Amino acid sequence: MAVDIHAHRILILDFGAQYTQLIARRVRESGVYCEIHPWDMSDEEVRAFGARGVILSGGPESVTQIHSPAAPNAIFELGVPVLGICYGMQTMAQQLGGRVTAAVHREFGYAQVTMVAPCRLFDGLRDHSDAQGRAVLDVWMSHGDRVDELPPGFVATGSTNSVPLAAMADESRRYYGVQFHPEVTHTLQGMQLLERFVREICGCEARWDADNIIADSISRVREQVGSDHVLLGLSGGVDSSVVAALLHQAIGRQLTCVFVDHGLLRQGEGDQVMETFARHMGVRVIRVNAEERFLEALKGEEAPERKRKIIGRLFVEVFEEESAKLQGIHWLAQGTIYPDVIESAGAGIKMPDGTVRAGKAQMIKSHHNVGGLPENMKLKLLEPLRELFKDEVRRIGVELGLPREMVYRHPFPGPGLGVRILGEVTKRYADLLRKADAIYIEELRRHDLYDRSSQAFAVFLPVRSVAVMGDGRRYEYVIALRSVETIDFMTARWSRLPYEFLERVASRIINEVDGISRVTYDISSKPPATIEWE
């Protein structure tokens, strides 16, 4: 019997901070399972969750306002440790009888916290020492309000020049508050602090590791599926590839994958997917050549949203047709991961009066998604990666024996080159883009830059520009190169690729791709520009 990897669990209550996902990732990195829930979770839900500890996140609101979000009272009745971070500390202070005031100016960025009293949370952590030999930590702050009066039972454990009560603790109840953000890497000892909280103070065992996650998923899949047959949409991307490897281990011949070649894949991608899965791993993969069908449907279509919808609809049609042909398919598997779940659930922050303050997750583009399948498909959904972050998915992919290049490849959107060819999609444009993209990626790998970029690709611009080559005039299309650095793909910074490298790529593309006469490099950040161009 495998260990119950979910039994030792931490509850993270989200007050709308930018960094709530980071808190969860740090807790997971210390080997402990956790879930993020909205701050207005009911008392019953809190009790039913069975947390060994609770973390209250930061947030944009101010507890000095009436009707500001507060933690459910049940968390203070569970008898488990509570850690409040920033807004979380402020609401904890106020709810337990302390006082919070709005400061005149916001404190944003680097700060040093001096440990002014012993505290289990900080014990032994030190970046510097002050004149009296007390430990000093380098931390990152982002707040306007501050705790001015401690609640009964608490002592001040850390202070900065501008915030005397930068950390507080009530050791008898195991309640802790920090005004700074331990979840960001700028807080050097932040990971240790969070690990200390979940492992030592909450007493959670480190059960959340790749081996245990795999064993647990396999046994859950077997239980769910029984002897039924499963259809998986396999793209060759990270998520669906890991699902394929996992399901192959769990249910073997009951799994059939459908790989749709819509003619908008990268160079050699189709063959590579078949090679890896069908030949090497012995997974049953049906390759559907649907290039003509997709291109035909996209003919004359220039609007990005309409193109996305057409592609999404055709995907669904192909999956439906294939499952009908196979018969006896009861499940549709997909590579949904935890950020997809959080992002689709947590749009905006709900206020106590029921209104919703605008959140980050506004719909900018309809991401192609198998989740948009019609109800009447009667297929049940199987989503074994629903609880995992991308880095966890990658780790279990490696553990399951997938090639490293596949697991660490850049994400590739479902609509593929369809959203990287601006405006109308044609076979000629797709062929030109494929060639240019392959040169770019090949050079990135050759120069050891691929792994330093989070996502890199070429974009086809259907405008023409004059060039002179071999004394002749050319009047051809333009390629834009994009490379971004990002952790969560919600925000991104353009990569500072070396000039010499860009020069080499540009020259190769113009010389080798007949039909391209100019190359540009995209230096837009997200926001405001999104990662893809459409």
Ligand X SMILES: Nc1ncnc2c1ncn2[C@@H]1O[C@H](COP(=O)(O)OP(=O)(O)OP(=O)(O)O)[C@@H](O)[C@H]1O
Ligand Y SMILES: NC(=O)CC[C@H](N)C(=O)O
**Residues engaged in binding ligand X (CB under 6 A):** 233-235, 237-240, 258-260, 334-335, 370, 411-414
User: Least distance in Å: CB of 27 to ligand Y?
Assistant: 18
Residue type (1 letter), 200: E
Q: Which residues, listed in sequence order, are joined to residue 84 by a DSSP beta bridge?
A: 56, 177
Report how far residue 428's alpha carbon sits from residue 19's, in angstroms, rounded to the nearest whole number: 43
Using the Cα atoms of residue 174, residue 180, residue 184 and residue 186 in order, give the sign of their dihedral. negative
Window contacting ligand XMP (CB under 6 A); options: 209-217, 408-416, 420-428, 436-444: 408-416
Out of 30, 55, 83, 87, which residue is the one contacting ligand Y (CB under 6 A)? Answer: 87
Interacting span for Mg ion (CB under 5 A) from 325-333, 346-354, 406-414, 442-450: 406-414
Q: Is 525 labelled as part of a ligand binding site?
A: no
Which residues, 406 to 425, sit near ligand Y by CB under 6 A? none
By CB under 6 A, residue 143 contacts ligand Y: yes
From the CB of 283, what's the least distance to ligand X, in Å?
13
Q: Is 142 annotated as a binding residue?
A: no
Residue 311 φ then ψ, to 5°: -65, -45
Q: How distant, in Å, are the alpha carbons of 39, 46, 58, 75 from that of 69?
A: 7, 16, 11, 14
Q: Is 238 marked within a binding site?
A: yes
Paired residues of 494 in beta bridges: 484
Binding of ligand Y by 55 (CB under 6 A): no
Choose the binding region for ligand XMP from 29-37, 137-145, 363-371, 372-380 (rule: CB under 6 A): 363-371
Binding flags for Mg ion, 361-390, as an x/- string (CB under 5 A): ------------------------------
Which residues 295-314 are close enough to bind ligand XMP by CB under 6 A?
308
531 binds, among ligand Y, ligand X, ligand XMP, none (CB under 5 to 8 A by kind): ligand XMP
Site string for ligand Y, 8-37 (x = CB under 6 A): ---------x--------------------
Rounded to a whole number of angstroms, the minimum distance from the CB of residue 112 to ligand Y is 18
Segment near ligand Y (CB under 6 A); pick from 53-61, 124-132, 410-418, 494-502: 53-61
Q: Out of 86, 388, 506, 516, which residue is the one contacting ligand Y (CB under 6 A)?
A: 86
- Looking up tokens 């919703």 gives 356
At position 166, the amino acid (one-letter code) is A
Please, which residue, 272 or 530, has the CB nearer to ligand XMP?
Answer: 530
Does 235 belong to an annotated binding site? yes
**86: annotated active-site residue:** yes
Q: Return the structure tokens found at 312.
A: 């999404």
Residue whose Cβ sits closest to ligand X:
237
In whole angstroms, what is the distance from residue 182 CA to residue 194 CA?
A: 7
Is the previous residue joined to 528 through a cis bond, with omega within 30 degrees of 0? yes
- Other C-beta atoms closer than 10 Å to the C-beta of 425 total 30
Considering the candidates 86, 202, 204, 257, report the single residue annotated as catalytic.
Answer: 86
Q: Mind giving me the DSSP string for 251-265?
A: HGGGEEEEEEE-S-S
Q: Tokens 């953000």 map to which residue?
A: 181
Residue 370, CA distances (Å) to 73, 128, 260, 284, 322 in order: 39, 51, 13, 20, 14
Is 44 strand, coil or helix?
A: helix
Is 257 known to be catalytic? no
The smaller minimum CB distance to ligand X, of residues 59 and 413, is found at: 413
> How many angstroms separate the CA atoms of 26 and 412, rounded?
26
Q: From the list ligand XMP, Mg ion, ligand Y, none, which binds 394 (C-beta under 5 to 8 Å, kind-based)?
A: none
183 an active-site residue? yes
236 is in an annotated binding site: yes
- The neighbouring-strand residues paired with 477 are 464, 516
- 259 vs 240: CA distance, rounded Å: 10
Residues 364, 419: Cα–Cα separation, whole Å: 14
Strands (E), 315-431: 329-333, 349-350, 356-357, 380-382
- Member of 183, 414, 425, 432 binding ligand XMP (CB under 6 A): 414
Strands 135-149 and 99-115 come out as antiparallel
Q: Is residue 263 part of an annotated ligand binding site?
A: no
| 413 near ligand XMP (CB under 6 A) | yes
How many residues of this chain bind Mg ion (CB under 5 A)? 3
Within 10 Å of residue 128's Cβ, how many Cβ atoms? 11
Q: Which residues of the chain form contacts with ligand Y (CB under 6 A)?
A: 17, 58-62, 86-87, 142-145
Which residues make up the interface to Mg ion (CB under 5 A)? 235, 237, 412
Which residues are annotated binding-site positions for ATP? 235-241
Catalytic residues: 86, 181, 183
Interface residues with ligand XMP (CB under 6 A) are: 308, 365, 367-368, 411, 413-415, 455, 489, 526, 530-532
